[in-house]
Every structure is written in structure tokens, then in C-alpha cells.
Amino acid sequence: MGSTTDIKNGLCFRYNHDIFKITEFLHVKPGKGPAFVRTKMKSLTTGKVLDNTFPSGHKIDIVRVENRKYQYLYNDDMGYHFMNNETFDQVNLDVKLIDRPELLKESSTVDILFDSENELPLTLELPQHIVLKVTYTEPGVRGDTATNVTKPATTETGAEIKVPLFINEGDNVKIDTRTGAYLERVKS
């Protein structure tokens, strides 16, 4: 058991018969009245994001979680399959546990969050950035150089992203996995 003083980004706890992860929080001490903690929390089972306010000193049931590195193998109608590189154990995850499955590249390393008590996978965290090859995009029009002009592009994993006009087929691009946005072109 913990209290609102233990709240920080990434903390996992039980609330309303579900497991939530804190994504944002703010301790508020108004001039009049008691202090409270305003939170934005994400359900690890359904993916819903909730805003909630806890009174200061409120007891919360903290869940002990472990972050383990896994290698992405493949996906099929049973889900997404991953392998632990140390023990060679395989785990199968449902698509709802993965934020941006279209950015998963075969043999890439990901972090899977496990509930330590039950050994159940809770969520998958992609690396912050990923490099993918552009497999299809329209050619850029010469002279069309207005600022921040983008065009659609398809990557090797099938993800659709917006890229600047100078990106061509075969280029490697760095993508922010939190937003799915283009960051920069990468020399191969």
C-alpha cells in the first residue's frame, strides 16, 4: 500500500478492479481547502486514458511490475509473438496491449511490462525512436518548397506516415514511436 505522495510518472497501481499506469500528475495545494493530486492514468488492460483527482494522503494499491526485454518475432491470427533472448521463452500478446503495432519491425527489441505477482504481460513499450525504410511514396514536385509541406509514405512494416517532399522510396527515416511522426532521414 502506498499513498498519493508515492505518485510519479510510470507508477502502476490497482484502481476500480483494473491496473493503471500514471502518465501525468500534478500536486495541487490551493490557497483554500485541502491539497490534492490531479492525474492522467492509462488502463493497462483496456488502453483507456482517464483523468482522476485523488485527495492528499489517499491510499493506493501499488502493483510491482518488471520490465523485460523481448525480441519481436512475427504476428498471426493468434496475436503478436515475442521471445526472451536470455531464456528463449515466448510470449503471445493481443494487439490491444500494443500502442502502435504498425511500427513493429521483425527482430526489433521491445520492453514488455509484467505484473510480478501473476507473471501476466500488461503492456508493450516500443523504443522511443525506430528507423524504417520507405517502400512507397509519390515523387516530390520540383519547386514546391513551401515550408512544412508533407506527403504520405508507406514504410516496410506497412505504417502510413507523413514525410517531407525530399524523401524518396528506399530512404531510411527515423520515426517517433509515441506520436508516429517523422523525425529525420537516416543515412544508411
Q: Which domains does the chain have, with CATH numbers?
A: 2-62 (2.30.30.30), 65-125 (2.40.50.140), 129-186 (2.40.50.140)
CA-based nearest residue to 154, from 139, 133, 174: 133
Report pLDDT digits (tens) over 156-168.
Answer: 999 999 998 888 8
Q: What is the pTM of this model?
A: 0.76
Grid coordinates representing 17 are 478492479
**Banded model confidence at residue 54, pLDDT cuts 50, 70, 90:** very high
Grid coordinates representing 40 are 492522467
Q: What is the DSSP letter of 31?
A: S
User: E strand or H helix at 92, and its extent?
Assistant: strand 90-93
User: E strand or H helix at 113, and its extent?
Assistant: strand 109-115
Report pLDDT digits (tens) over 65-116.
Answer: 888 999 999 999 888 999 998 899 999 988 878 888 899 988 899 999 888 8
Grid coordinates representing 94 are 493481443
